[in-house]
Amino acid sequence: MIGAIIGDIAGSRFEFDRGDKSKEFKLFTRYNHFTDDTVMTVAVAEALLNAGVDADEKTVKTELIKSMKKWGQKYPNAGYGARFIYWVLTDDPEPYGSYGNGSGMRVSPAGWMYDTIDRTREVARWTAGITHNHPEGIKGAESIAAAIFLARNGEDKDAIKTYIEREFGYDLSRTLDDIRPTYKHVEDCMHTMPEAITCFLESDSYEETLRNVMYIGGDTDTLGAIAGAIAEAFYGTPYDLYKTAQDYLPDDIKDVVRRFVNSRICVDNN
């Protein structure tokens, strides 16, 4: 999840097509900040830790709703979509059929928590289903959690690509140079997950993954969170980037990150 948070912060100042689609830029400036991608990733991490690895669907979803509402209300101006912030603020939240890319940007903790890919995909579906219960919203979360699981367990890029194409039907044949000329800010899973995965597949390091994100542009904070989460599992995250990113985070968010990273669960499965 650290990779997701760094990617979110790095991409924040280029969101809404504000960049010039270049790989040459400073990762961190005074204009960077964390967004809803970080807040909801932390919320999911806290919820899964509180539920425990063997929790059933009802328990996991109860913890997710509680945690996401808590964090959303604590940071209400982080950049949520209108329907999601209504969900956060309502007393009786129900899923609303979304296929937005929010299901994929927050799912990374599920990619680290479990020791089988079937369990990883199951919990990923639950993290999406409380809000993004459209089939594409669920697929978006499940595909990213699966990619993280495969990456952290030593699968190479060809194996990850083949699995994602076979299991989820995403077209990963386009290169970044194919995507870049016409790609714009879009917030659905169908036009975010394949592009984010490709940013990882065409990289040779964690940092280059983020530079690939800014190269194609679009919803760069979310693309950064998704691609960065996979890249973390494959490459690890450079300590200097992690240390700098912490300067952008409040103490309560850093506390959950530390709890997640230091948990016995993650240590056993890393």
Residue showing tokens 């097509």: 17
Please give the C-alpha separations between residue 233 and each of 121, 140, 228, in angstroms, as whole numbers. Answer: 16, 18, 9
Residue showing tokens 């697929």: 139
pLDDT at residue 17, as a whole number = 84
Task: Give the separation between CA 71 and CA 69, rounded to whole angstroms.
Answer: 6
Task: Give the separation between CA 82 and CA 67, rounded to whole angstroms.
Answer: 19
CA Rg, the chain, in Å?
17
Residues linked to residue 188 through DSSP beta bridges, in sequence order: 100
Token representation of residue 9: 């912060």
Token representation of residue 1: 């999840």
Question: CB within 8 A of 56, min separation 6: which ones?
Answer: none
pLDDT at residue 16, as a whole number = 84
Residue showing tokens 């329907």: 83
pLDDT at residue 118, as a whole number = 98
Q: Following CA atoms 239, 244, 247, 251 in sequence, which dihedral angle do they give, to the nearest 10 degrees?
A: -10
Question: CB within 8 A of 44, min separation 6: which ones?
Answer: 64, 67, 68, 106, 107, 108, 109, 110, 127
Domain total in the chain: 1
CB 89 within 8 A of CB 124: no
pLDDT at residue 18, as a whole number = 87
pLDDT at residue 264, as a whole number = 52
Residue showing tokens 């807040």: 39
Task: Give the separation between CA 30 and CA 15, rounded to whole angstroms.
Answer: 15
User: Which residue type does 110 have?
Assistant: A
Please give the C-alpha separations between residue 87 and each of 65, 92, 97, 130, in angstroms, as whole numbers. Answer: 10, 8, 12, 10
Structural domain of 17 = 2-23+31-269
CB 109 within 8 A of CB 260: yes
Q: What is the CATH number of the domain that holds 116?
A: 1.10.4080.10
Block mean pLDDT (10 aa), the chain, length 270? 96 90 94 97 98 97 97 95 93 94 96 97 98 97 98 97 98 97 94 98 98 97 98 95 95 96 58
Q: Which of 185, 190, 192, 144 has its CA nearest to residue 3?
A: 144
